[in-house]
Every structure is written in structure tokens, then in C-alpha cells.
Amino acid sequence: MKPHRGVLILVLGILGLIVCCLCAPAAWYMGSQDLAEIDAGRMDPEGRQMTQIGMILGMVGVGLWVLGIIVQVALVLLAGGLAAAGAN
């Protein structure tokens, strides 16, 4: 049976929210892979809760990342529209 990576996934999830948004998708991906391994009985189930929490934090981090991109694009379009309206 393989050892769990719950601590690593949890740390990646936290880092994805606080420091580096690139860690969030890694936490989400690794968490889903490890949960599948735990469910199949090939990985130590002791780290299931940490893995789930890290994966959820990764999902939230990805969601916030996408939301931030949408807001930035909207602000750029708004600023461009205001600049075009002011030029007339």
C-alpha cells in the first residue's frame, strides 16, 4: 500500500490560496488522483481528510484565480470603452 500525500496536498492547497495560484490546480489534481487511489484500496486511507481538504482548497483557489482573470478583463474592457468614449 502506498503512503498518502495528504500533507503535501494540504500545503499546496493553502499555498494556492495565499501565495502562488499555480499551486491550486496541482492540489486539485493530486487530491483527486489520491482519493481515487484511496477508494481503490491502493493508498493509505489515513490521509483521506487532509487530501479532501487540500483538494477543496485547490478548487477554491482555481475558482478565485478564474474570477480574478474575469474581473481584470472586465476592467480592461471598461477602461478601453471609457477611453474611446472620452476621445469622441
Q: What is the pLDDT of residue 81?
A: 84
Three-state DSSP state, 41: coil
Whole-prediction pTM? 0.85
Q: Which residue would you say has higher pLDDT here, 31 or 1?
A: 31
- What's the pLDDT tens digit per position in 64-85? 999 999 999 999 999 988 888 7
Alpha-carbon distance 25 to 39, whole Å? Answer: 21
Cell numbers that stand for 24 in this block: 491550486
Q: How confident is the model at residue 88 (pLDDT cuts 50, 70, 90)?
A: low
User: Nearest Cα to 54, choosing from 32, 21, 38, 22?
Assistant: 32
- What's the pLDDT tens digit per position in 25-57? 999 999 999 999 999 999 999 999 999 999 999
Alpha-carbon distance 85 to 22, whole Å? Answer: 37
